[in-house]
Amino acid sequence: MTMVITPPIERAKIPVIVVGCGVIGLTTALVLQRTQRYSVTVVGRDIPEDLLGPHGISQSWASPFAGANWRPCSADHEQQMQIAEQLTYFMMRDIAEESPQAGIKIITKADFGSSKGELGTKPRFLGYVKGVHEVERRYWPENAVFGYTYESVVVNVPLYLSWLVAEFRGLGGVVTKGELKHISDALRFIDDGRCETIINCTAMGSLSLGGVADDSVYPTRGQVVLVDAPNVNITTGTPGNSEDKAAYVIPRGDGTVILGGVFEEGNTNAHQDMQTTDEILYQCLAMCPQLISGYSSTGKSFNNAVSKDDVEELRKRIIAINVGFRPSRKGGPRLEVQRMGKIVIVHNYGHSGYGYQTSWGYASMAASMLDAALSKNQSN
């Protein structure tokens, strides 16, 4: 008897447009494309290829300006964000191990609290991160509210954004440059007129995007200093002298290190503030003398004396001083489905200062919401 094998029926993929080509748009697009149920096109006014061009980096998007490291900042009631942080931690660890070219590294973090005022607490995420050790109080930096080291991840942002694009394109995804005035303009980027599905990842752009403008979006200014400091091999962070300051040191794995920073809500000054730069250099040196010394970080003491000469030595190593704007939103990120006639829109924007460290979590949740919204369409 001959057996007849019927080939699997190729189902037509559902076309989806993702508006926004920062870390949130790209990760969401990649998650959707990987399901093989969707054929995804990303359209963005700013795209990672722009970073290679001669015109400098536009401050109208946030993704090129991040440190970026993984350090949860969800409050107790922010359960969606907690899930996103945890999922992204393990996803980024896998990427670091499986795809070194992605620019993610697993690295020790010395964590002394954040400007969110976690006085005396043991953060919840210490329950799942790997390699947790307590740091003796005598080694804590100024302003510390606790002291732990654990395995975190750092992201070399230009490398990682290019890797996301390459992964997505490798699966047949399309990235294209374009600016929309109205959300429904997105549909023009697929010419057969079949697309009725949009994911809105426009971050600060959501403030004025026609049809979906959201006035709860606002910028939180950041200023970071990029230095050449190849001996730094741990990432550190501690609260600053006020709620809108912190000191953090994030090595990018290529000999350069990001130093920060400030969290200035509503401040739209696009230029560097000299006093902020001085404070960043001083506080980061106190935590991390390896920024100028010939030795690799030992991860021992984080409250070292700093002289004026030390600061000037570090100043010589500055490569760039950057100002960027975190896309914040009153009430936190918007992750929800909106229907506009026949069009299904999934919003995924407003990730403030934590877009990288939550990206895989929010992208997966957005994909699940899209699946659910479309299956509801079919059953109606």
Ligand X SMILES: Cc1cc2nc3c(=O)[nH]c(=O)nc-3n(C[C@H](O)[C@H](O)[C@H](O)COP(=O)(O)OP(=O)(O)OC[C@H]3O[C@@H](n4cnc5c(N)ncnc54)[C@H](O)[C@@H]3O)c2cc1C
Residues that bind ligand X (CB under 6 A): 19-25, 44-46, 61-63, 65-69, 179-180, 201-205, 209, 222, 224, 261, 324-327, 349, 351-357
CB of 370 to ligand X, least distance (A): 17
Residue least distant from ligand X (Cβ): 205
- Pick between residue 226 and residue 337 the one whose CB is nearest to ligand X: 226
- Pick between residue 237 and residue 310 the one whose CB is nearest to ligand X: 237
Tell me whether residue 176 is annotated as binding: no
Distance of CA 108 to the CA centre of its chain: 19
Tell me the C-alpha distance between 129 and 321, whole Å.
32
144 preceded by cis ω (within 30°)?
Answer: no
Using CB atoms within 10 A of its CB, is residue 171 exposed (0-12), middle (13-18) or buried (19+)? middle
Tell me whether residue 147 is annotated as binding: no
Nearest to 105 by CA among 113, 117, 115, 97: 97
- CB-based contact 290:313 (threshold 8 Å): no
Tell me the C-alpha distance between 307 and 320, whole Å.
22
CA dist 317 → 81, 223, 227, 311 (Å): 36, 17, 5, 10
- Pick between residue 202 and residue 290 the one whose CB is nearest to ligand X: 202
CB of 122 to ligand X, least distance (A): 22
CB of 153 to ligand X, least distance (A): 10
Tell me whether residue 353 is annotated as binding: yes
CB of 1 to ligand X, least distance (A): 57
- Pick between residue 212 and residue 370 the one whose CB is nearest to ligand X: 212
DSSP string covering 47-90: -GGGGGSTT---TT-SGGG---B------TT-HHHHHHHHHHHH
Tell me the C-alpha distance between 129 and 125, whole Å.
6
Q: Where is the binding site, in residues?
A: 202, 326, 353
